[in-house]
Structure 1
Amino acid sequence: MSRVYKLKGQSAAPRVPEVEIDFAAELNPEQLAAVTAPPGQSLVIAGAGSGKTRTLTYRVAYLLKNAVAPENILLLTFTNKAAREMLERVEDLLPQQTAGLWSGTFHSICNRILRRHAESAGLTRSFTILDSDDQKALLTKVIKEGNIARQVEADTGEKFPKAPVILGLISLAANTRRPLKEIIGKEFSPDPEFVAGITKTAHLYDEKKRKANSVDFDDLLIRTLDLFRSNPQVLSQYQYQFQFILVDEYQDTNRLQSELIEALAGQHGNVMVVGDDAQSIYSWRGADFKNIIEFPQRHAGAQVFRIETNYRSLPGILALANEAIRPNVKQFPKNLKASRPDSGQKPVTVPLQTPQEQAAFVAQRMRELHEEEGIPWNEMAVLYRAHFQSMEVQLQLTSEGLPFQVTSGLKFFELAHIKDFSAFLKFAVNPRDEAAFDRIVQLLPGVGAAGAAKIWTAWLNAEPARTGLPPKSYSAVFSKIKVSAKADKDWQQLGWTLDEIVDEEGKLRDPMAVMTSIFEGVYERYMRVTFDNFESRRQDLEQFMRFGGRFTGVEEMLSELSLLSGPEAAESAVPAADQGQESITLSSVHQAKGLEWRVVFVIWLTDAMFPNLRAVESGGEGGMEEERRLFYVAVTRARDQLYLTWPRLWPKAYTGDTWQMPSRFLETLPRWSVEEWRIGR
């Protein structure tokens, strides 16, 4: 029998009353099986709306109730908010029993480990973490000090990428554990000079960080993994400490995160990963679908639990969701079952004639639901594959004065690249517009506010600024204005491009012609080397061009644009948090993951839009299956009503109206799973 030895002067810790939890009563059978699983390797496939957070929370509580010390539990999440929420729920179940439990994001956990073992990782404990702005500033300095951009541009005649683009390539290489050269060749340019320039930049960037005792977010994970591999005793310490590892949203993990999990669980193998393969939609930022789909193959004897009871959506929506994901070959087959009673209401498909008619339908139906059924504005959402697809809906909601917020980014006409483009148009109409001129000129390499002011002073002395009329030859006027050697080539190109927007009589061409010249002449090249999401921005600008195609003149277009983005429009379009009122949500599907609304409209469901063109043209099953998973995520956001819409005609910027086919994801749905609506004419 053990002896109790008391220290003098030490008061006994307050006794925590024993709390009983009836796991069988508080969980459904599927959840209970996962929560009470024996030690070992487990994969929990938690379908949409099935209570994933509840399952993880009760698993932690179950371990604590079964004599596992809090410090022996590691809970990895993708957001600090999720970690806090789970800990709070565990604390509600077992008050005062979570102290010492390690819970947080991969980055926060790795930060804690590196602080403890900084010297072994080649750092000091006072190391600093670079945020995205710090990274951009440091990498920009590296490019400038190394004279890299000038050398590459001299050798190739092409623009060298800006810091955000290069940082995106470096991060993708780190998170996928692929060579940077391979990433550059596939994602940007295979040109040897470009590859050499970017790899040199990455090397100098790493050196700069080391000298500054700084790390970026990817370094937190990389250096922790390197620490484990170079110091087996450190790894062994954490393997012994973290006897039970739980991972949330496992389908979103990348190769680097997977290697960290495998390292920590290497001795005991007590790891439970929770996720939904049908919601794996982030390969573009490095998430590796193989992590979840191949888990049973990598871990012989691993238990697989399926949680399929859905507490969110009506049966009709779940029936459609099950059919939507069924064609995917690589998946854990699942059949979501509703806990809610059947209302008899089915999801609705609605073909429309044009994008404008689609927007009009969405606005009218939302108004009906709000006024006739009392559904609050904030219980309705419009989801889309890409941000540019929201433009017509934004215009329609603005014109009707319906409150909305855009969670997929800024309002369409507030986007930086749309404002850049608008500045070109404003300057073309009014050569005395100083604000527009400044914005354009500061797009030139090496030109800041001071340089723009000098160029503006010179422009004021030119004839167009005096007369207020476009010149017959911008390039002739520009050739007389001195700019820096770094900006000279682009300044000349700008002049030649602006020459194209004026006809023989000195009048501006139609909006579509003007915008096409600006995009192809100067802005496409600038955008490709400046932004890390070029394709998304290009689609936005194509949509903006289609908007311009509605008008006969640039002046008319700009007037309408001013009204749409003016104070009156802002009253209906400010976020609800600023306005103190409910508002409709407009969001990309990617950013809607994890959210839910009573009513959801999924728009632009045509082939080449959803699924996107890249997946359609590639012909590969991997890309198409991820697009289908994205559609699955979209439809499972709806609780009560789901509307699936598409426009038959697409007014394209370059080729005119194009007839569109409905999305193949709609075509594969059984007719019994939807109700078809037709627009009366």
Structure 2
Amino acid sequence: MPDAAVAESEPTPLEAALATLSRRLTSQQRAVVEHRGRHARVAAVAGSGKTTTMVARVLGLLAEGIAPQRILVLMFNRSAREDFVVKLAHSAPPGTRLPDIRTFHSIGHRLTTTLARWGSLEPRELIQQDWALERLLKQAAQRALGDADRSEREAALDGERLEALAQFCDLVKAEMCEPALLYERMNLGEHTGHFVESFVQLEQLLEQYRQMTYADLLYRPLRQLEREPETRARIQGHLQHVIIDEYQDINEAQQRMLSLLAGAPSAEDVAAGAPSDASAIAEVMAVGDANQCIYEWRGARPDYMLTRFAESFPEPMDFPLSYTFRHGHRLALAANHAIAANARRPDQLCLAAPGTPGTRLAEGQGAASLVAALTAWRASGRSGAEAAVLVRSWALSVPVQLQLLKAGIPFRLGRSDRFVFRLPLVQALAGYLELSRDASLLTDPVHLTLLFTQPTAFVARERLERLCQQLAESRHWPSKEDPILEGLKPLQRRTLRKRWQLLCDLPSLRDWAPARLLRHVVDELEADKILRRAAARRDKGEEDVRLLDVLIEQAGELANDPEAFIMLLRNPVEDAADGVLITTVHGAKGLEWPFVGLWGMNEEDFPAYSRDNPLSSERLEEERRLCYVGVTRAREQLHLWRDGGTHPPSRFLAELCVDDCTRLGDWVHSAGQRAKTAANTQDDTAASAQVAEPALRVASPGLGQAYLARLPLARHGITPPTLEATPAAKASATSTRKTQASAPRSGGTHSRKASSRAEPVVLRRVGGWEIGQRLHHDAFGEGVIEEVSGNETNPLIEVRFADGNKRRLIATRAPLKLL
């Protein structure tokens, strides 16, 4: 009998695996794992260990006896899904049946197949080849243009414009909106007026050929299920728990599909007052970080995490994962400063977890600073593969590539088609330089074609190739009656002849410095106007114009030897396996490196804007979130580089307050060392003994104080330093208050100065419970509240008790008494 009792008390393999994993979790993470009974929203800062937490939650659900087919885990993309599957399989006992781990596309594919089998949806073939989709887009555009003239049709069939049309059609389906409304909202360039009708024509072609795009994998089944309540009822009620990662990157179609899968009543049902069965609705847990919402061009909005989730899944419990295990206090403070001026953000601070190594912060200017930092990193014995240089746009990667090539530092690119020698516009500019030094190239039709097509002359390539062949042979501009010019508009004829004249003149300018020569070419061609006009999206046009500026700047910096500069542009470099990674901040999302540098911290580059494409308040917030993502990729070193060009330093450098964060972070690290010494020596005075020091002057004392208040300083008898505003910050705050007092109370935008000094709103009080309150627990004794979350009905508090342990409690249920 005793043996049977012992056997019954032994944990199952799943329970044992969960217990092993739980020992590595913080109290915040365990609260997420153990939560049951309501929808939940988990705000997870960068590097907070959310994947491990989600794995533990899945194991916990399985250990409770929840059938794996009643659990659905949704990941943002295939890579994240594969990573999660590996971690879950590694943590679970061998042979454990695990739940579905899916992406939205795979869910859509399964639903499409199921609905087709039921006869609810017409079967269609998925278009998987780019060329097949491009062919359909061309047909749709030609149908939409109707009787438009030849030049308009040629412009519509340009590769970049077809790519923009494909993105527009996908976004219509992601946003679940009318194409005309989306077109009005988007900032598209010239020659895109046919996009709305092209969408209609594309839908007809897809139906005619019984084909579908990747966007249709979600769009088609979602529309069908929303139209057919009976069919919808057949797929609902099967799930008990849904966990969705990277919720801040969700779009409208994904949000509606999530609600549908979970069994939540539709907006139409709610409006009609239709009854719903609460027991048939799955518990949904959304995990994400609104501060990392950087895919607004794909339909994502921070509001989905901040407000929309609670609208679709009422009264969710809120759980913070505030501790990062990626970087130390200096960078955690800088991350909080980076996002503080945003109005649309969570009331949450990023905190460095105890024991996390310090992270060095550094600012620099110019290529010399970039090369010196990477050289020192490699000289210290570290691999270049452990370092990444991040840029706001690929155009800004060009100076980084050229400087590293010149310095002999190996590198690799996040996209192989972005190597300098593979960029058509760069190669064309190199071609102009080559022609100035070698007049015989005027007889090379291939070389002439390159220079006539970049920047575009808005003439079909086939015609340009024939024209360049004739020019190379004759060395004379054709007569007005020449068939080669037939059908061209007068403006096109003048443009082409002007370009030919420029090419003929270049050899006489051989002695000009490369930067001066390139500026002359750009001005003569009015290349900036051409690039803006040619781009299907305004931001793409601005990036191309910036690429021109970057190349001219580099020509002035690197081209003491013009031949060497041309060779640098032509160098067919390939990825180096141990090289420094150069990629965009968007491409770095979800990744981390010991060494991270952000290049191009200048106004108009980061944040990205121009006179013709100014910043709105919403775009500025998105740029600031992008900066937040960039800086939080670093573990050991973060470098912020601005170039030495004409653009002033980025406002984000001022907002990051690198010097303040370094000094305050150093103080925190020092306090931690004192606490550690005290613990090792059993000397209570070691931690508290402090030399009287002057108050620290910082730009945002409120933010620094809020950060220090979250740290267990009082537990070790450590008094935090007094933080005072710097004179400049005081003046800014006074000016801001006067401006706000006199401004009308409406939804206006913050001024640049006010935005850069805005203090974050930190959640300090919920339901009568406040940070800093002392209380008594019947079992654990006295403690201090260090963090509050949840809502007024169900406040959650984190309490540090006298024994040093920190516990998360539901305040309304725990046996507590305020002291």
Deviation at 1:103, TM superposition (A): 2.1
The one of 562, 570, 577 aligned to 1:565: 570
Give the corresponding residue for 2:172. 173
Deviation at 1:249, TM superposition (A): 0.6
Residue 498 of structure 2 aligns with an amino acid whose one-letter code is W
The one of 417, 420, 428 aligned to 1:412: 420
Conservation of the 8 A alpha-carbon contact between 1:278 and 1:629: yes
Provide the identity percentage: 23
Against the structure 1 CA distance between its residues 488 and 616, is the aligned structure 2 distance closer, same or farther, given a 3 Å change threshold?
A: closer
Conservation of the 8 A alpha-carbon contact between 1:315 and 1:341: no
Against the structure 1 CA distance between its residues 525 and 400, is the aligned structure 2 distance closer, same or farther, given a 3 Å change threshold?
A: closer
Q: Is 2:304 the counterpart of 1:291?
A: yes
d(CA) in 1 for partners of 2:154, 2:401: 40
Give the corresponding residue for 1:262. 259
Residue 233 of structure 2 aligns with an amino acid whose one-letter code is S
The one of 487, 492, 496 aligned to 2:498: 496
The one of 36, 44, 56 aligned to 1:58: 56
Against the structure 1 CA distance between its residues 172 and 121, is the aligned structure 2 distance closer, same or farther, given a 3 Å change threshold?
A: farther
Give the corresponding residue for 1:638. 634
Conservation of the 8 A alpha-carbon contact between 2:327 and 2:357: no
Residue 106 of structure 1 aligns with an amino acid whose one-letter code is F
Deviation at 1:124, TM superposition (A): 4.6
Q: Is 2:228 the counterpart of 1:237?
A: no
Give the corresponding residue for 1:71. 69
Deviations 1:254-313 (A, max 9, x none): 111111112222151411111111111111222122111114641331011111221111
Deviation at 1:180, TM superposition (A): 1.8
Deviations 1:594-623 (A, max 9, x none): 111111122222233222226997564322
Conservation of the 8 A alpha-carbon contact between 2:386 and 2:595: yes
Q: Is 2:473 the counterpart of 1:461?
A: yes
Map 1:326-405 → 2, pairs under 5 A: 326-339=340-353, 341=355, 346-350=360-364, 352=365, 358-371=366-379, 373-405=380-412
Residue 66 of structure 1 aligns with an amino acid whose one-letter code is E
Against the structure 1 CA distance between its residues 110 and 126, is the aligned structure 2 distance closer, same or farther, given a 3 Å change threshold?
A: same
389-398 or 252-261, which deviates more: 389-398
d(CA) in 2 for partners of 1:229, 1:503: 65
Residue 648 of structure 2 aligns with an amino acid whose one-letter code is Q
Deviation at 1:104, TM superposition (A): 1.9
Residue 202 of structure 2 aligns with an amino acid whose one-letter code is Y
Give the corresponding residue for 1:5. none
d(CA) in 2 for partners of 1:382, 1:565: 22
How many pairs are equivalent? 621
d(CA) in 1 for partners of 2:398, 2:566: 12
Deviations 1:608-651 (A, max 9, x none): 3222226997564322222221111111111111122224x42x
Deviation at 1:591, TM superposition (A): 0.9
Residue 71 of structure 1 aligns with an amino acid whose one-letter code is Q
Give the corresponding residue for 2:317. 303
Map 1:462-477 → 2, pairs under 5 A: 462-463=474-475, 474=477
Residue 666 of structure 1 aligns with an amino acid whose one-letter code is A
What 5-or-longer segments of structure 1 have no aligned partner? 1-15, 353-357, 465-473, 651-657, 677-681
98-107 or 84-93, which deviates more: 98-107
What is the DSSP-based 3-state SS (H/G/I as helix, E as strand, rest coil) of the residue aligned with 2:637?
Answer: strand
Map 1:181-196 → 2, pairs under 5 A: 181-187=180-186, 195=193
Map 1:149-160 → 2, pairs under 5 A: 151=148
What is the DSSP-based 3-state SS (H/G/I as helix, E as strand, rest coil) of the residue aligned with 1:607?
Answer: coil
Give the corresponding residue for 1:12. none
What is the DSSP-based 3-state SS (H/G/I as helix, E as strand, rest coil) of the residue aligned with 1:335?
Answer: coil
Residue 169 of structure 1 aligns with an amino acid whose one-letter code is F
493-502 or 603-612, which deviates more: 493-502
Give the corresponding residue for 1:435. 446
Conservation of the 8 A alpha-carbon contact between 1:320 and 1:669: yes
Against the structure 1 CA distance between its residues 368 and 336, is the aligned structure 2 distance closer, same or farther, given a 3 Å change threshold?
A: same
Residue 669 of structure 1 aligns with an amino acid whose one-letter code is C
Deviation at 1:672, TM superposition (A): 2.4
Give the corresponding residue for 2:204. 207
Deviations 1:569-609 (A, max 9, x none): x2xxx2234xxxx1111121111111111111222222332
Against the structure 1 CA distance between its residues 154 and 87, is the aligned structure 2 distance closer, same or farther, given a 3 Å change threshold?
A: closer
Conservation of the 8 A alpha-carbon contact between 2:179 and 2:196: yes
Conservation of the 8 A alpha-carbon contact between 1:615 and 1:624: no
Give the corresponding residue for 1:8. none
Residue 443 of structure 2 aligns with an amino acid whose one-letter code is R
486-495 or 360-369, which deviates more: 486-495
Against the structure 1 CA distance between its residues 343 and 43, is the aligned structure 2 distance closer, same or farther, given a 3 Å change threshold?
A: closer
Deviation at 1:110, TM superposition (A): 0.3
Map 1:494-533 → 2, pairs under 5 A: 494-500=496-502, 510-520=517-527, 523-524=530-531, 527-529=534-536, 533=540
What 5-or-longer segments of structure 2 have no aligned partner? 1-11, 265-279, 665-819
Deviations 1:537-580 (A, max 9, x none): 33223322433456999xx756622244325xx2xxx2234xxx
Against the structure 1 CA distance between its residues 245 and 152, is the aligned structure 2 distance closer, same or farther, given a 3 Å change threshold?
A: farther
d(CA) in 2 for partners of 1:400, 1:446: 40
Conservation of the 8 A alpha-carbon contact between 1:74 and 1:245: yes
d(CA) in 2 for partners of 1:366, 1:552: 22
d(CA) in 1 for partners of 2:67, 2:611: 48
Name the larger-Rg structure: 2
What is the DSSP-based 3-state SS (H/G/I as helix, E as strand, rest coil) of the residue aligned with 1:610?
Answer: coil
Deviation at 1:231, TM superposition (A): 2.4
Against the structure 1 CA distance between its residues 576 and 124, is the aligned structure 2 distance closer, same or farther, given a 3 Å change threshold?
A: farther
Q: Which structure is richer in relative contact order (CA contacts within 8 A, separation 6 or more)?
A: 1
Deviation at 1:94, TM superposition (A): 2.7
Residue 142 of structure 1 aligns with an amino acid whose one-letter code is A
Deviation at 1:321, TM superposition (A): 1.4
What is the DSSP-based 3-state SS (H/G/I as helix, E as strand, rest coil) of the residue aligned with 2:236?
Answer: helix
Map 1:577-616 → 2, pairs under 5 A: 577=577, 582-613=578-609
Deviation at 1:346, TM superposition (A): 4.1
The one of 220, 233, 254 aligned to 1:223: 220
Deviations 1:424-451 (A, max 9, x none): 66567521223223445676778566x6
d(CA) in 2 for partners of 1:590, 1:339: 26
Against the structure 1 CA distance between its residues 100 and 28, is the aligned structure 2 distance closer, same or farther, given a 3 Å change threshold?
A: closer
Conservation of the 8 A alpha-carbon contact between 1:184 and 1:190: no
Deviation at 1:489, TM superposition (A): 6.4
Task: Tell me the C-alpha RMSD between the 2 structures.
Answer: 3.6
Deviation at 1:419, TM superposition (A): 3.1
Against the structure 1 CA distance between its residues 586 and 505, is the aligned structure 2 distance closer, same or farther, given a 3 Å change threshold?
A: closer
Deviations 1:23-43 (A, max 9, x none): 532322111111111033111
Deviation at 1:511, TM superposition (A): 2.2
Against the structure 1 CA distance between its residues 379 and 110, is the aligned structure 2 distance closer, same or farther, given a 3 Å change threshold?
A: same
Conservation of the 8 A alpha-carbon contact between 1:387 and 1:408: no
Conservation of the 8 A alpha-carbon contact between 1:91 and 1:97: no
Deviation at 1:126, TM superposition (A): 5.7
282-291 or 173-182, which deviates more: 173-182
Residue 171 of structure 1 aligns with an amino acid whose one-letter code is D
Give the corresponding residue for 1:134. 132
Give the corresponding residue for 2:575. 575
Against the structure 1 CA distance between its residues 622 and 108, is the aligned structure 2 distance closer, same or farther, given a 3 Å change threshold?
A: same
Superposition TM-score, scaled by structure 2 size: 0.69
Against the structure 1 CA distance between its residues 431 and 101, is the aligned structure 2 distance closer, same or farther, given a 3 Å change threshold?
A: same
Give the corresponding residue for 1:271. 284
393-402 or 134-143, which deviates more: 134-143
Deviation at 1:203, TM superposition (A): 1.2
Give the corresponding residue for 1:13. none
d(CA) in 2 for partners of 1:437, 1:383: 35
Deviation at 1:398, TM superposition (A): 0.5
